[in-house]
Chain A
Amino acid sequence: MPHRQRFTCDDVTPSGAAPAAHQEVSDDIFSTAEIPFPSERPLNVYAFDPSLGKFVGNQMVTHVRYESLEPGPIGERFAVLDYDGSQKTFYKPVNLDDPKLLMTNGLPPSEADPRFHQQMVYAVASETLQRFEFALGRRVRWRTRLDHSHPPAPRGASRRLNLFPHAMCEANAFYSPDAHGILFGYFKASRTNPGRNLPGQTVFTCLSHDIIVHETTHAIVDGIREHFMEPTNVDVAAFHEAFADLAALFLHFSHKEVLVDTLQKTGGKLFEFKLKGDAELAQGATPAIQSQLSTENPLIVLATQFGEAAGRQSSLRSALMTPATSDGAKEIATKIEPHERGSILVAAVFDAYFTVYGRRTFDLFRIFRAGGGNVDKSDLPAPLANRLAMEASRTAEEFFTICARALDYCPPVDITFGDFLRALLTAHLDYTPDDPDHIRDALMQAFRLRGIVADNAISFSEDALFWPKVVRGSLRVPGLIFGDPNGLTKEEKDHNGDVLRAFAVKHADKLGFDKKAGEIAAPSFHPMFSTGKDGKLYVSMVVELVQTMRVPFGHGVPGTFPLRNGVTLLIAQDPPEHDKRPDPRVRFVIPKLYQPEREERVRNFYIGSGRATTTSPAGHDGDKRFRLDFALLHAGV
């Protein structure tokens, strides 16, 4: 689905391009000769990556919100800096405001021109950010420092993230809070087993749509949650990988051309792994021409070129790697490599997605068959394919939104797959109480079939899995300022921080904290403004409260580790009654509190993953070892 409708805000004059001051004040406030600012900027990108060539829809135009750009591109939220650390050189930055490029949707797709790479990285990262901000109903800020022991970053750092499209000559790409940016590598394809690439050809990770979305998602999640990157249990790293993969995969379904083509080639069964070739091939016969070859379904696989260039026969990962069988359910106890483990979560969410898609298109297929159509012949008429594509992309949009919103319903620390399931269900219930297509049930069953259970839920039923709701009115936070969708001022933020910390101390017992165990901080609070299905505007705030204890490893292991207890609060601002604005009301308290077993589990997990000892020569790394390092994670070390 194109996002045209979303950003039609052409009445907002982008800053930096303010109209000249000599403008005469006219009496007529309804007419002007000025040319309105465009609401969006179309840019050429690859829908997948260069290896798919001119495969239907691979070269597409994406639309990002218009802003005036300096050469780079340097915009408000992203700065593309093309410095190559291996070659120690800059590459010429693209000027997307050049009139020649404005007329042609930017540069045409090309592997040889670094300026197209810059354009694609900018376009796809921006698109990803916009999708998240739309789903979350608020602005996302970037992380600026690892923790409070570091000096604060200079002003403005939280607004803009750096993108380095050719940072190094390595088969790797990663988000790094240290560099305040995303580093994309380039490398030579395997000489022995390069897949569709030429042996030894240079492969650019910054030309893979999936990789850009994946890394941008890591950065977004890190910006939203302060302590989410601490691998305190076996699920944490896997969760990050899965979540980033989900964002990349769901974005595939917004590419209409590919979607329609895939629908036609699979006879509407979007979840099939193989697409039949364009030309007929008899059963068991050997393909003679290229159009008889079957190909991987591009919608449900990730990073094809990267996977093949690295010597695999296929793409990096697929959406449906864990089957919905008892064998699939066993994998939750055996797979611990983060990407493999993450693929279990991805498979569960996509199982639910395809199930709901099936429910929503069932009637269309019935109508088609009733009219004498044959779905086994897989050649769907274009109008049917278009209708199916609409459903598929609407459903994908919905699922992406649920996943993004679920972030706000996760506990602030120590996330597990089970927590994410509970967050998904609660978020969906909260935003869409009625559920005619049984999305929640589909999610629940898909998770259950893969052995993902929630630790503290009494039973595996919808009611038990929703986070418990605070009794209406029993917990209030007087004095909290919600501001408006344009954000809070620094003063308002400071005020809110004070209010929340005082609230946490006062109600520590109710929230489940042990006051004596340590100070309770409020690392983040985000006002949110969203329109419910009933058309009402809901004003709420998501708050993290986190308490950090320093706990010794003990037993022959020197040193201490941070053990964090926390709750996520969802606070609502109700409309005024009798001319009085009621105090903000706490709706959910989503806990991850102290338990001796949890302390022991975190301790063992840190020791087992080699984090008990510092590797830095100084012997002190400011707790950096207790955070995920995506550079190593993505290199597969």
Chain B
Amino acid sequence: MPRSRSTSATSSSPRQRKPAGSGTARKQPTRAADAAPAPAGAAAKGANGLRVRMYRIGFGDFFLLSVPTGSGASHILIDCGVHAKDLGSMRAAVTQMAKDCGNRLALVIMTHRHADHISGFGSCADIFAQIEVERVWMPWFENPDNPKAAAFQASLVAMAGQLGRQFQMRLAAGPDPASEQLLSMAENITGGLGVAGIAANQKALNVLHGGFKGSQPNHDYYKAGDPPTLPPDLAAAGLTADILGPPIDDALIGQMTNKNQQYLAGATESSDQPERSKPFANAFRGKRDDYGDKAFAPYGFDKMLRMLEGSQPDILAAQAQAADKTLNNQSLVVLFCFGGKNLLFAGDAQWGNWENFLYGGAYGTPGHTQLTARAQDILGKIDFYKVGHHGSANATPKDAVKAMRLGCVGMCSTQEHAYNEVPRAPLLEALRQRMNDQLARSDQIAAGTDAPANPDAGPLPKAFSAPAHQLFIDYDF
């Protein structure tokens, strides 16, 4: 993988994992704290004025990174969306952000096209129409000139739409929290249908592709390893960036477009007919008595029927979860470096995206079972980590947590009860330990009177600041 900053990668990276045991003795699982952290680096002064601002909007990501340059602060917007548990504060937060950046953004990064990362662009299109943007970065899946990527995204959205209709039908039959969550998952991909029948996410994407003020920004579509182009003032100020994800995954695309999609097509075609299709003429209908006594032994007829029904998993649910994961794995993962400080924004990358960065390929295939030296090196010196996927268990692999520098700082944008087990308490606890308690959660502050701070989230750690009656939390380097 070609890299621009490879020189520093050769510096000694103390291996943080214990060397493997001698083989005969059985090793107890390592729970104890891992080895010593890498030295913190003395360039603290160099990053003065660098600030990460996290807005509280509910279950969604909305971050503003402000970088000091020769001509004052320059701003990078990383995602702007909310989906489940919308607190209704999006409009106020976007207005605030427009003020914060003086209606001028040097760079907008869309990590991936889930509603909880882009809905703000659509719902506040009028505000964004007043903001000048110099560049936009997106994952390579969004490149309109890549026919394969475009077809893939189209099929993913179409599939999510079909799934959404199926779950709506289930909900029409009666309330069911599980189906609600699945519907929410499907609608996160489409954004839900607007009044005019246009998927809300499409509206947001349209803004990203050409809804800003004045001359439209340059668009870059990146994959892991691409050397990114920064706006000149940011580059001049000394900011550098690496793209760590998403990988090019032809296999993923092939898999989705063929099998899953087609499977679903089969399932929906039959179910949208009013009477379910009968495979055989009525003459062939039989009854239980057509079989002899021996037939249902040894389980018996009733048990056999229950076993038959119980053995059929909810494929549509699995499908929705798979689609959700697929889209999360498209996340653009960016490592910024400024004044000796390293900031990792991982979007909602899940295992499939991380594993390429962590292990250099599909985990478990020959040669890809250990963290690569480069991954160790990068994680061993990060100073800031945007916790992936709102703190869910599948978005920060434990090997990544273990390799992170002790005492780095983290921010997690989340809201409870949007999805099962998100945020995942044990993961946040592990991160908090790793970070010496410097982990901020967006629900540690109130968003207006209707959405007070979540008492279970604990107080905001001292490393962060949050002015009263504001919708954001700051971390100043």
A binds B: yes
Give the interface of A toward B (CB within 8 A): 70-72, 74, 79, 81-87, 89-93, 112-115, 153-157, 160, 162, 164, 166-172, 176, 178-181, 183, 186-191, 200, 202, 204, 233-235, 310-312, 332-337, 340, 451, 453, 514, 516-517, 551-558, 594-597, 599, 601, 603-605, 607-610, 612-613, 617, 629, 631-632, 635-637
**Is the Cβ of A72 less than 8 Å from the Cβ of B291?**
yes
Query: Contacts A552-B29, A610-B394 given; 10 further ones with Cβ under 8 A?
Result: A71-B295, A90-B291, A154-B299, A190-B265, A234-B365, A613-B421, A629-B313, A631-B312, A635-B263, A637-B318
CB within 8 A of B431: which of A85, A87, A181, A556? A556
Given A90-B290, A631-B312, answer yes or no on A171-B295 (Cβ-Cβ < 8 Å): no
B424 partner residues in chain A, CB cutoff 8 A: 556
Given A84-B279, A169-B277, also A154-B319 (CB < 8 A): no
Closest Cβ of chain B to A211, distance in Å, is 15
Residue of B nearest to A115 (CB): B284
Q: By the criterion CB–CB under 8 Å, are B399 and A632 in contact?
A: no
Which residues of chain B come closer than 8 Å to A166, judged between CB atoms? 279
B402 within 8 A of A: yes
Surface stretch bound by A, among B18-26, B35-43, B234-242, B439-447: B18-26
Task: Tell me, yes or no, whether B363 is within 8 Å of chain A by CB.
Answer: yes
Closest beta carbon of chain B to A2's beta carbon, Å: 30
Q: Is B27 an interface residue (CB 8 A)?
A: yes
Asked whether, in the complex, the Cβ of A557 is within 8 Å of the Cβ of B427, the reply is yes
CB of A332 within 8 A of CB of B365, answer yes
Q: Is the CB of B286 within 8 A of A168?
A: no
Mark out the residues of chain B between 289 and 306 whose CB falls within 8 Å of any chain A CB in the assembled complex. Answer: 290-292, 294-299, 304-305
The residue among A71, A558, A594, A636 with the most chain B CB atoms within 10 A of its own CB is A636
Q: Chain B contacts of A169 at CB under 8 A? A: 270, 276-277, 279
Residues in B with CB closer than 8 Å to A114 are 279-280, 284
Most buried by A among B30, B259, B393, B394: B259
Residues B363 and A604 in contact, CB atoms below 8 Å apart: yes
Tell me whether A453 and B26 are in contact in the complex, defined as CB-CB below 8 angstroms, given that A90-B285, A310-B263, A636-B260 are known contacts.
no
Contact B267 A93 (CB under 8 A): no
Q: Evaluate contact between B312 and A74: CB separation under 8 angstroms.
A: no
A620 nearest CB across to chain B (Å): 15
Cβ B315 vs Cβ A87 within 8 A: no
Instruction: Kindly list chain A residues whose C-beta atoms are within 8 Å of the C-beta of B276.
Output: 86-87, 169
Interface presence of B126 (CB below 8 A) = no
Q: Do A178 and B364 touch (CB < 8 A)?
A: no
User: A183 touching B308 by the CB < 8 A rule?
Assistant: yes
Q: State which of A168, A337, A601 has its C-beta within 8 Å of the C-beta of B312.
A: A168
Whether B288 is near chain A, meaning CB under 8 Å from some CB there, is: yes
Q: Are B251 and A180 neighbours in the complex by a CB distance under 8 Å?
A: no
Which chain B residues lie closer than 8 Å to A90 at the CB level?
Answer: 285-288, 290-291
**What CA separation (Å) do A632 and B317 show in the bound complex?**
11
Nearest 4 Cβ contacts at the A-B interface = A556-B430, A636-B259, A179-B311, A178-B311
In the complex, A162→B291 CA distance in Å?
14
**Are A557's CB and B277's CB within 8 A?**
no
A338 to chain B, nearest CB (A): 10
B362-A637 in contact (CB<8A): no
Judge if B258 is at the interface, Cβ distance under 8 Å: yes
Return B158 CB to nearest CB of chain A, in Å.
12
Does B355 count as interface, using CB distance less than 8 angstroms? yes
Chain A neighbourhood of B285, CB < 8 A: 89-92
Contact A635 B318 (CB under 8 A): yes
Residues from chain A with a CB closer than 8 A to the CB of B169 are: none
B263 and A554 within 8 A (CB): no
What is the CB-to-nearest-CB distance from B35 to chain A, in angstroms, rounded to a whole number?
A: 14
- Which of B315, B394, B421 is the most central at the interface, judged by chain A CB atoms within 10 Å of its CB? B315
Binds A, one of B8-16, B190-198, B366-374: B366-374
Provide the residues of chain B in CB contact with A81, threshold 8 Å.
291, 295-296, 304
A168 and B278 alpha carbons, distance in the complex (Å): 11
Q: Is B281 an interface residue (CB 8 A)?
A: yes
Query: What residue of chain A has the Cβ atom nearest to residue B430's Cβ?
Result: A556
Residue of B21, B266, B292, B394 near A71 (CB, 8 A) is B292
- Chain A CB within 8 A of B322 CB: yes
27 pairs, A vs B, C-beta closer than 8 Å: A71-B292, A79-B295, A81-B295, A85-B312, A90-B287, A92-B286, A114-B280, A153-B298, A168-B312, A171-B262, A178-B311, A179-B307, A179-B308, A190-B266, A200-B269, A202-B279, A310-B259, A333-B365, A334-B251, A340-B251, A340-B255, A556-B398, A558-B426, A601-B369, A632-B315, A636-B255, A636-B258
